[in-house]
């Protein structure tokens, strides 16, 4: 999550939104996020939310465009370079 937070700081001002979904209770998530210095929006999710997003492993990242359509997803941990590269690719594709 800290890697994604760094990407959020760079891209949120460029029209990219970030929300962290957790399977843990909201207060617990807030505590962990605060300890990690994560400032993105946090939400608690259960299976009925995660299923339609195609999430079957934690952690997972789902990329949703401005129309609310899922344009990509990836399961497993990724580093900051991956997130930056993927966000740039999706922004470029959206600009076409």
- What is the pLDDT at residue 47? 66
Tell me what pLDDT residue 79 has: 92
What pLDDT shows up at residue 81? 95
Average model confidence (pLDDT) for the chain?
Answer: 83
85: pLDDT strictly greater than 90:
yes
Evaluate whether 58 touches 78 at the Cβ level (below 8 Å). no
Q: What is the pLDDT of residues 16-57, one digit of tens each?
A: 888 887 777 778 888 888 998 888 887 777 767 777 777 777
13, exposed or middle or buried, with CB in 10 Å at 0-12, 13-18, 19+? exposed
pLDDT at residue 76 greater than cutoff 80: yes
């Amino acid at each position: 999550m800290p890697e994604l937070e760094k990407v959020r700081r760079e891209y949120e001002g460029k029209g990219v939104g970030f929300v962290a979904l957790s399977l843990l209770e909201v207060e617990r998530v807030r505590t962990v996020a605060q300890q990690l210095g994560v400032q993105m929006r946090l939400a608690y999710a259960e299976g009925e939310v995660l299923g339609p997003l195609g999430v079957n492993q934690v952690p997972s990242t789902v990329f949703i465009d401005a129309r609310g359509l899922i344009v990509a997803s990836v399961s497993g941990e990724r580093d900051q370079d991956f997130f930056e590269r993927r966000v740039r690719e999706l922004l470029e594709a959206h600009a076409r």
